[in-house]
């Protein structure tokens, strides 16, 4: 089977049509939509907190503009890819879920788009979260982005709420991975800890540079269950491939990066 894996697009959609036409199936490692505005707001909050400055609250216009930037670019890309082959994607960490959107609407008194709901309506496009699929004979596990306890320790997170969330999400990820047996492919957003996961992006907070943003839970799973392939993204600057035992791990990268494989 000819498999095309698209690295975190972040709104990029001008892929070579000859490559798309040759694919039997397309996988996307998450973060389909362009999130420049949302990232700017998030990093502003992080930097001010690190510097001990008071928080600058987002305006309703900033929330609306960032939401529609993600929505419009996500819908455009999903429609573009799914015209060529069945396309399966995880969400990543820039897709606002419906419950989050509702909270934002109530907080800022604005009407926001339902990105995930509308993407599910696109023919031949399948956003999948934390589940297993048998796709044309390939056993594929889809693991959504989560905050790993290892991230909390690596980045010296002090926010008690975020620490609590990480504990819950880490335990949930362990249970989900435990249910994935004998996979051909694990599609996950963040890389395994220490493998293609070092932060060097100049736009990231300075305190993050040089740290590992991967997941120890994913690393443990790979060592134990030995899937044939792991496709991930998230840390775009660390793109590349590594092998652990019999498992090939690919950080596909982002915004135009892709991998084309024939898997038997």
Q: Would you state the pLDDT for residue 251?
A: 98
Q: Would you state the pLDDT for residue 188?
A: 98
- Stretches where the chain sits below pLDDT 50 are none
String of b and e for 217-228 (b: at least 16 CB within 10 Å)?
A: bbbebbeebebe
Q: How many domains are contained in the chain?
A: 1
Tens of pLDDT, residue by residue over 43-86, are: 888 888 778 888 888 999 999 999 999 999 999 999 999 999 99
Q: Would you state the pLDDT for residue 64?
A: 94
Domain ranges, residue 97: 2-262
| 213: nearest Cα among 188, 178, 246 | 188
| 180: nearest Cα among 222, 213, 234, 232 | 222
Name the 3-class secondary structure at 151. helix
Q: Would you state the pLDDT for residue 96?
A: 67
Query: Can you tell me the distance from the alpha carbon of 85 to that of 48, in angstroms, rounded to the nearest whole number?
Result: 44
Q: Tell me, what CATH number does 20's domain have? A: 3.60.21.10
Q: Would you state the pLDDT for residue 45?
A: 83
Name the 3-class secondary structure at 89. strand
């Amino acid at each position: 089977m000819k498999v095309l894996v698209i690295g975190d697009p972040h709104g990029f959609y001008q892929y070579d049509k000859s490559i798309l036409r040759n694919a039997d199936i397309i996988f996307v490692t998450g973060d389909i939509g362009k999130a420049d505005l949302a990232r700017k707001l998030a990093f502003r909050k992080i930097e001010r907190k690190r510097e001990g400055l008071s928080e600058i609250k987002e305006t309703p216009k900033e929330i609306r503009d960032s939401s529609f930037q993600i929505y419009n670019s996500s819908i455009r890309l999903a429609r573009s890819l799914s015209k060529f082959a069945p396309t399966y994607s995880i969400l990543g960490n820039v897709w606002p879920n419906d419950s989050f959107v509702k909270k934002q609407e109530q907080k800022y008194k604005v009407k926001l788009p339902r990105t995930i709901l509308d993407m599910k309506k696109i023919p031949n496009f399948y956003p999948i979260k934390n589940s297993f699929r048998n796709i044309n004979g390939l056993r594929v596990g889809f693991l959504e982005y989560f905050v790993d306890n290892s991230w909390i320790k690596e980045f010296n997170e002090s926010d008690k709420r975020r620490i609590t969330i990480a504990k819950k999400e880490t335990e949930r990820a362990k249970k989900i991975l435990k249910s994935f047996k004998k996979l051909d492919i694990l599609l996950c957003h963040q890389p395994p800890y220490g493998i293609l996961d070092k932060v060097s992006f100049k736009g990231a907070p300075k305190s993050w540079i040089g740290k590992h943003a991967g997941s120890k839970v994913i690393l443990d799973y790979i060592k134990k269950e030995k899937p044939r392939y792991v496709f991930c993204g998230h840390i775009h600057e660390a793109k590349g491939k590594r092998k652990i035992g019999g498992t090939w791990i690919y950080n596909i990268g982002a915004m135009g990066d892709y991998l084309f494989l024939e898997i038997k």
